[in-house]
Amino acid sequence: MLSYILPFIFQIVIVVFIHEYGHYYFAKRFGVGVTDFSIGFGKEVFGFNDRTGTRWKFSAIPAGGYVKMFGDESAASTADIDKLTEMSDTDKQRSFHYKSLGQKAAIVAGGPLFNFILTIGIFTYFIFVNGITSTAPIVGEVLEKSAAQEAGLIAGDEILSINDGKIESFQDISLAISTNLGNISKYFSF
């Protein structure tokens, strides 16, 4: 059971870290103070403070995470109204709540954006390592009274071309059919 749970937790930690780092990156870029960067929720298990005062920590429940910004009352980024009204001009420049709408939007969108970049990276890696799989254009079964039967196809036929367009994979067939509706039955080559 541990061989399933530990890899799952590891993957969640990576995805959460990348997501939260997206928020952190844009917050820092726009001069917002970040007080906490947490992987997980609940009680802190271990952590450290960096030179800018951010507490980087792992918490007991590894089912998410958060970036707590300067001026927030909680990890859910709810504003501490009392603290916000009493802030000096210097502190207001470090607070998420006093940033422009565009900056706030970039900070909020940073997490999903970084996850999107992570996804592109993972898929690119797998495509380079494994290639793109495709299914050979071989007919598995022909249904009675179907367009395939009317075209003369039988089980085991390999479709080589449609309307003089070369067919290399099963996906090519649906593209050829959808772009040549009404005039294909006499143009199959197999």
Active site residue ranges? 20
Amino acid at 45: V
Beta-ladder partners of 46: 58
